[in-house]
Amino acid sequence: MPRFRETIAARLAAFGLSPLDALLFLGVCAFFFFLPLRTDATATIVAMTVFGIAAVRGCAAFRSLLAPGVGIYLLAFALFILAVLAASLSHPATLSKFPRVVLWGCCVFAGVALSVCVPEHGSRYFWALFASLAGSFAVAAVFWGYDNPAIWHDERLKLFAIHPSRLGLYAAVCLFFLIYRAIVASGYERLLALAGTALVFYILFSTNTRGNLLMLPLGLLCLGAALPRRYLKQLGMAALLCAVLGGSVLWMKSESFVGRRLISAVTNPLADPTFQSRLPIWHVGWETFKTAPLLGRGHQSYLAEHSRYVAEHGAAMRERFGQYEPEVKQAHNIILGRLVETGAPGTLAFLLFYCGAVAAAWRGPAKNRWLLAPLVFYLAMNMFDDGLFRLNDAFILFVAGTALGGFCPPAPERSGRE
């Protein structure tokens, strides 16, 4: 047994990994694989906390999180969590959903801790994301071979995620990462990144998620802004390739219902049925916020508030908007959703944290600047959705934590290792 452990340690060392590094990598890979599934939030919270604590072990400079320009954003996130708790305590019916908020904290903590305490990991976290997507796709291919419909949601690919839109989010973030690695890497890593880009691009377009596809160019623009000038030519070629592939896929799907909806959203966005359906939802959210502007109505309270408002003002809404949905689970806008749930102070704290993560990605180490693309992409996409309503979107807070952690001074005992 000792010889076996020595052999494993030697093989890991050949790849620049310690046993703890390997454990963390496998843990993050498992996190990325299981988070899209219908898993219990408690299990995910425990897993992320364990890996965060493992990363902090032996790190004497974890107080670097209090460095100027970083600590204020983490404090803002803590205040946001407290605002959610205060709103839920004032509306006890919403307390049962609070474990999901704890998951947000665990994901931010794990992202920051891993970036600060093991900075030599570099891009391995997001290779883990690609590994989980490729693994899911490989297993799904077997399902497809046996005509199992579990990997599809109508015409939309979902693999093993709850919904195609969540798979689309993972695929979009992974696509930005792979394009970045294909541009800046060399040798086998570049070839792997190019092959991965093709696979993930197919997965993304097969989800037929309009919000992801429409905001993809914005993410590519942010990626270009974050890259050094010498890489802009390569990024332009990558963007052109994405446009050609995307146009080809869209042309093939133009006769389908999903394809027609995507074309409609581009050619006539204000008359698009989805945009029109959002107007009464936003109206109810704003009116609800005005009734509790300081504390909000508690976590995931929009469903009850929407039903109450429609019951009281249904005739006026029908006269103003024509048709509207009688039951809606979320505010379909990430800012309005936070206003309804936590009031103005909690929303400001959340925006300070998130914008701080965007700034950290922009001003941080070169290896983390590509994170600007998924963070801006996610915020723009959620002007028409409230992704934080879902358990799965805690993933983006891991990305934000990674950006903030990369901006911290590295731990002295690990900073010399590369």
| Confidence grade of residue 414 (pLDDT, cut at 50, 70, 90) | very low
| Confidence grade of residue 253 (pLDDT, cut at 50, 70, 90) | low
Task: State CA 355 to chain mean position distance.
Answer: 15
Per-residue pLDDT at 297:
92
**Amino acid making up residue 36:** P
Would residue 417 count as lying in a domain? no
Question: Measured between alpha carbons, how far is residue 30 from residues 50, 128, 166 in Å?
Answer: 13, 8, 17
Q: Give dist(CA 388, CA 19) in Å, integer.
A: 34
pLDDT tens across 208-223, in order? 788 888 888 888 888 8
Crossing angle for the helix pair 19-34 and 41-56, nearest 10 degrees? 160
Per-residue pLDDT at 357:
94
**Helix or strand run (H / E) with residue 157:** strand 156-157
Would residue 66 count as lying in a domain? yes
Q: Give dist(CA 277, CA 123) in Å, integer.
A: 40
Would residue 178 count as lying in a domain? yes
CB 400 within 8 A of CB 353: yes
Q: Which of 107-116, 138-147, 248-257 has the highest mean pLDDT?
A: 107-116
Would residue 303 count as lying in a domain? no
Lowest pLDDT segment from 45-59, 120-134, 177-191: 45-59
Placement of tokens 């979009």 in the chain: 172
pLDDT tens across 44-84, in order? 555 666 566 665 655 545 555 656 667 889 899 999 999 99
Number of Cα atoms under 13 Å in the Cβ half of residue 212: 23
Number of domains in the chain: 1
Q: Give dist(CA 228, CA 97) in Å, integer.
A: 43
Would residue 189 count as lying in a domain? yes
Would residue 285 count as lying in a domain? no
Would residue 315 count as lying in a domain? no
Would residue 170 count as lying in a domain? yes
- For residues 153 and 343, the model is more confident at 343
pLDDT tens across 363-385, in order? 888 888 899 999 999 999 999 88
Contacts of 168 (CB under 8 A, 6+ apart): 204, 207, 209, 211, 212, 213
Please give the full DSSP string across 262-286, using - where no structure is assigned: HHHHHH-GGG-HHHHHHHHHHHHHH
Q: Give dist(CA 142, CA 80) in Å, integer.
A: 44
Give the domain extent around 241. 2-275+325-411
Quote the pTM value.
0.85
CB 287 within 8 A of CB 309: yes
Task: State CA 27 to chain mean position distance.
Answer: 18
**Helix or strand run (H / E) with residue 317:** helix 302-321
Range 155-173 average pLDDT: 79
- pLDDT averaged over every residue in the chain: 78
**Helix or strand run (H / E) with residue 153:** strand 152-153
Lowest pLDDT segment from 217-221, 240-244, 256-260, 365-369: 256-260
CA nearest 169: which of 385, 347, 361? Answer: 385
